[in-house]
Amino acid sequence: MSTQIDQLIQALNASPENQTLLALVLATCLSEKAMVEASTLISRDDLSFRFDDHDHQLTLAKLCNALSLPEHVIDWTESETPELMFELAVAQKALGNEKEARQLYLDAIAANPTLEDPDNWGASTPREREVSSLGTKLTVISNDDTDDTEMRRLLEPDQKRVVFDDVGGLESVKQQIRKRIITPFEKPTLYLKFKKRVGGGILLYGPPGCGKTLLARATAGECRADFFNVAISDVLDMYLGESERKLHALFENARQHKPAVLFFDEIEALAGKRQYTREATASKLVSQFLAEMDSMSSKNEGMLLMGATNVPWAIDPAFRRPGRFERVMFIPPPDREARAAILAIHISGRPHESGIDMSSLASKTSGYSGADLEQLVENASDLAIEASIEQRKEVEISQAHLFQSLRDVKPTTLEWLATARNYARYANEAGQYDDVLEFLKKHGK
Ligand SMILES: Nc1ncnc2c1ncn2[C@@H]1O[C@H](COP(=O)(O)OP(=O)(O)OP(=O)(O)O)[C@@H](O)[C@H]1O
Ligand SMILES: [Mg+2]
């Protein structure tokens, strides 16, 4: 490998004015990550690094950026392709010229969206910047008794980042979310070119404790968006018109923090079927919610709306129209494999014996939700702590502790599944509970 580079350098020494050869040596250094050789070459005076060819310039620019030689990138880059602009952006950033760097980056990704790199450059796109600079301010209307601090508490994005690895099982759901939600978030400019809307809404439903809330947080974590967790009880207000105003303020604020995920947990409290709520005020709130969702197509770009419920049959069907919660996903109780994964997630980070047989535990916990399994580990921890205190030394969580706590923790998803089965059988309008039926069939319930 390095002998190839050595041979190339020898050839170059024989004819240092051969630019094609020089470019080849540099390209080889780049692909072989031979940074020492590259650094020596670049400091040589007998070589000229002014290339006419775009590809050669690009190789050189990449090498110089890798070697932290931003001045050279700026000196030696002449043509203006998006790829070169991107390298110039990196160089300007390294020199501390943030504004210039950002502009170059935006120009580069506008011309070639596949260059977009949110990890290093943040997720904003030119379009979003444009929108956000025009964006409306959160106006607090006078005689509005939603005070500032309260609003901030509602709107403070959650801090701790949760990712898909923290969610056990649910592989197909994660895959769907990745394809339909996360990729569009990461490469918004590309989607914009194809006139695809980024954003939209998805509704998660399923038995309690199976990871709906967790998955919503992980989705936000995966797309590095701000996550606003809205507790419906915080929005509901006894004063006339006040709930609507809070809801509107929530949406407005999230729009200013794009990219953002706005998560409405236990959404049935807000989006209950209008026919069920006889009070006109409640149905007005639903209408307001729908209106906010509908402004999605125009203003809510870069915003993802997620909702979760464990009573999907109580949700107003108007919420499932296109442009609103178009995608409805069933979050089933974990299967055996998923249960083993969830147990492993919750036990990791706690002292435990090696070689615990998760799969035997998983096969004994059919019907347990993720939360039940977490409880199981919690109980086993208690047992280990008790034992530690007794024996005056650290006792790790053992298989026996886990099996012992199995007696105290009961599965909680069965009741939900029984109810859901009735709806799936007798009120399955438009096949909305097909996933539930399929799950029941597969698990022989
Ligand atoms: N798939 C999972 N992987 C890891 N942990 C899980 C999983 N599902 C549930 N848990 C654990 O259970 C807890 C409760 O889960 P979560 O709040 O996401 O449930 P939920 O589906 O939103 O329930 P509810 O309908 O009651 O709101 C989580 O904080 C997590 O610790
Ligand atoms: Mg929840």
pTM of the prediction?
Answer: 0.65
Whether residue 357 lies inside any domain: the answer is yes
> Are residue 376 and residue 301 in the same domain, yes or no?
no
* Distance between Cα 369 and ligand 1 center (Å): 8
- Tell me the mean pLDDT in the region 93-110: 90
For ligand 1, whether the C-beta of 211 sits within 6 Å is: yes
- 158 and 300 share one domain: yes
Q: Are residues 48 and 88 in the same domain?
A: yes
Task: Give the pLDDT confidence score for residue 178 in this predicted structure.
Answer: 87
pLDDT of residue 136: 31
Same domain for 325 and 340, yes or no, is no
Domain shared by 381 and 317, yes or no: no
96 φ, ψ to 5°? Answer: 85, 5
Ligand 1 pocket member 342 (CB < 6 A): yes
Is the domain of 178 the same as that of 78?
no
Max CA-CA distance within the chain? 91
Which residue's CA lies nearest to atom 18 of ligand 1? 211
Q: Are residues 320 and 359 in the same domain?
A: no
For ligand 1, atom 10, the nearest C-alpha belongs to 370
Percent of the chain residues topping a pLDDT of 70: 83
Per-residue pLDDT tens for 200-216? 678 899 999 999 989 98
C-alpha of residue 119 to centroid of ligand 2, in Å:
29
For residue 82, being part of any structural domain is answered with: yes
Residue 128: is its pLDDT beyond 50?
no
Sheet architecture: strand order including 226-231: 226-231, 260-265, 303-309, 200-205, 327-330
Calculate mean pLDDT across residues 123-139.
41
User: Which of 6-10, 50-54, 270-274 comes out lowest in average pLDDT?
Assistant: 270-274
> 227 pLDDT band (50/70/90 cuts)?
confident
Mean pLDDT of 267-282: 60
- Which of 330, 357, 373 is where one domain is finished? 330
For residue 375, pLDDT beyond 80 = yes
Between CA 256 and CA 128 the distance in angstroms is 10
Find the ligand nearest to 339 CA: 1
Asked if residue 262 and residue 209 are part of one domain, the reply reads: yes
Do 395 and 293 share a structural domain? no
The residue contributing the CA closest to ligand 1 atom 16 is 211
DSSP lists the bridge partners of residue 226 as: 260
pLDDT value of residue 12: 93
Q: In which element (H, E) is residue 29 found?
A: helix 19-32
Ligand 1 pocket: which of 170, 374, 381, 417 to mutate (most atoms within 8 A of CB)? 374
Quote the ligand 2 centre to 229 CA distance (angstroms).
Answer: 11
User: What's the pLDDT tens digit per position in 82-92?
Assistant: 899 999 999 99
With a cut of 70, say whether residue 152 has pLDDT above it. no
How far is ligand 2, taken at its centre, from the CA of residue 227, in Å? 15
Find the ligand nearest to 209 CA.
1
Instruction: Confirm or reject: Cβ of 307 under 6 Å from ligand 1.
Output: no
Residue 36 has a pLDDT of 92
Quickly state the pLDDT bin for 355 (edges 50, 70, 90).
confident
271 Cβ below 6 A of ligand 1: no
d(CA 319, CA 293): 9
CA of 338, closest atom in ligand 1:
1
Asked if 290 and 347 sit in the same domain, the reply is no
**What is the distance in A from the centroid of ligand 1 to the CA of 371?**
5
| Residues of the domain holding 311 | 148-330
Number of domains in the chain: 3
Decide: residue 137, CB within 10 A, 0-12 exposed, 13-18 middle, 19+ buried: exposed
The burial class, CB within 10 Å (0-12 / 13-18 / 19+), for 31 is: exposed
Is the predicted pLDDT of residue 280 greater than 60, yes or no?
no
What confidence category does residue 301 fall into, taking pLDDT thresholds of 50, 70 and 90? low
Last residue of a domain, one of 86, 112, 138: 112
